[in-house]
Structure 1
Amino acid sequence: MPHPLPALIVIDVQRAFDEWEAAGKRRNNPDAVARIVDLLAAFRANGAPIFHIRHEGTKPNSSFLPSRSGYAVKDEAREQDGEPVIVKRVNSAFIGTDLETRLRASGITTLVICGATTNHCVETTTRMAGNLGFDTRLVRDATWTFDRIGPDGDAHSAEEIHAMTLSNLNGEFARIVTAGEVIASFAAK
């Protein structure tokens, strides 16, 4: 039987990203973690399922190695008792994990995705969720990314990358929503 509530998938809200910022990398959406905190509070208040995803680096210089400070989750987004933590080693939270099995076993059909970064693990997980047939919502103001240099040396701002990622996913893989819309949907039930 389908689960009546959506599941919140919180991707890679880890300290490595704070370290990148401190080292001079520029990001967009500075309020994203605050919106994730709002989503966590709403899902908890409504008894809706929450799954925390952590990235475990595999390369020797990765900021996400378990032995490094960047692996730790940001305090604001820490899991509570009973909220599963799923560790992944690639961009998709579905590859090499039991996330899909857990979701299907619980009858969960709707996913609300937030976290970091928009164009990496969030995008890859969102694409796969859509391909796997989940009713997927990506929370535009609860995810962020960083400036990047393209293969031709062109500079791309975090805002530009974020907007393009949302455009690529919209309609085909997910519905793009705001944290406020997700929270309001609980009141409508």
Structure 2
Amino acid sequence: MQFEPWIEERVLARQGVLHPYDTLDAATTAFVIVDLQNYYTQPGYQGECAPARAIFDKVNQLAAAMRAKGGKVIWIKTSADGADQFWSHHHRHMLTPERSARRLLELGSGHAGFAMPPALDVQSGDLTVVKRCYSALAPGASDLDAVLKAHGLLTVLIGGTVTNVCCESTARDAMMLDYATIMVDDALAAVTPYEHVHSLNNWMLFFGDVLTVDEVVERLV
């Protein structure tokens, strides 16, 4: 991703280099892929982010590279089971009744919307973590932090959808929990290019690095 000069200048002033990681130790790195479920990627679902379908090949490419180098691939899936209770404010006040009911239905763990599209290369050796809200690392949202720690993982690569919502929320919390955190530009998708770019600009300014899939693969050791 090409950043505007003023962004590069501020990043350089803060940390001295534009990209702080010359190499990435695959053995302590996880590729965390957020919400590429049918609900968020396929036509006909309320949560469809149509551009997400275009990143499937890049996600598969990086997942394969991680496996080949001994890294971990972690698929994050959102479940709305019980969300009208544990996330009641969101469902009662930030969604219309119709949208709330549809989210609860289509993201239920027994619905096809919860499943992963067959175009994604989800393998038996990968890990799957189910989350309850935007950030997989918010208190009580999932056991992602425990999974990362159990496997000795120190670096988190974030892919999936939507860039500026669940992906950025999870990435911010990962950074706050002291993981080295990288947003992977072409393995992420938002509803509009504007939202995607502005999310990554803000991320780069304050929180962590942004690399492409090819740039990540070049650094894996």
TM > 0.5 fold call: yes
> Residue 106 of structure 1 aligns with which residue?
151
Asked whether 1:61 is paired with 2:61, we answer no
Measure how far apart 1:70 and its partner are: 1.4
What amino acid is the match of 2:128?
V
% of aligned pairs identical? 26
Letter in 2 for 1:81: S
Give yes or no for contact 1:29–1:141 (8 Å, CA) kept in 2: no
**How far does the alpha carbon of each residue in 1:95-143 deviate from its partner, in whole angstroms, 9 at most, with x for none?**
3211111212322111111001111110100110111111001001111
Aligned partner (choices 168, 175, 179) of residue 213 of structure 2: 179
Distance in 1, Cα, partners of 2:43 & 2:30: 29
Q: Deviations over 1:45-96 (max 9, x none)?
A: 1121111100112353113222322111122335322322110110011132
Q: 1:170 aligns with which of 186, 204, 207?
A: 204
Q: Return the index of the structure with the highest Cα Rg.
A: 2
- Structure 2 contact 49–161 (Cα < 8 Å) conserved: no
* Counterpart position of 2:9: none
Check conservation: 1:55, 1:89, Cα contact below 8 A.
yes
Q: How far apart are residue 34 of structure 1 and its match?
A: 1.1
1:140 and 1:98 mapped to 2: Cα distance?
25
* Secondary structure of 1:166 counterpart: helix
Cα 1:29/1:76, change in 2 over 3 Å: closer
Which segment is superposed worse, 117-126 or 67-76?
67-76
Distance 1:70 1:175, change over 3 A: same
Kept in 1, the 8 Å contact 2:26–2:71? The answer is no
Q: How many residues align?
A: 175
Of 149, 161, 177 in structure 2, the residue corresponding to residue 116 of structure 1 is 161
Give the 5 Å matches for 1:124-143: 124-143=169-188
Match of 2:73 among 50, 55, 69: 50
Tell me how far apart the structure 2 counterparts of residues 64 and 44 of structure 1 sit (CA, whole Å).
Answer: 28
TM-score, with length taken from structure 2: 0.71
CA contact (8 A) 2:49 2:162 kept: no
For the aligned residue pairs, the C-alpha RMSD in angstroms reads: 2.4
Match 1:72 to one of 115, 118, 135: 115
CA deviation after TM superposition for structure 1 residue 26, in Å = 6.6
2: distance between equivalents of 1:39 and 1:93? 20
Find the residue that maps to 1:77 and give its secondary structure: coil
CA offsets, 1:126-180, max 9 Å, x none? 110111111001001111111xxxxxxxxxxx01111111111114222011011
Unaligned runs of 5+ in 1: 147-157
Deviation for aligned residue 1:3: 7.6
Tell me the equivalent position of 1:85.
Answer: 128
**C-alpha contact (below 8 Å) 1:54/1:87 kept by paired residues:** yes
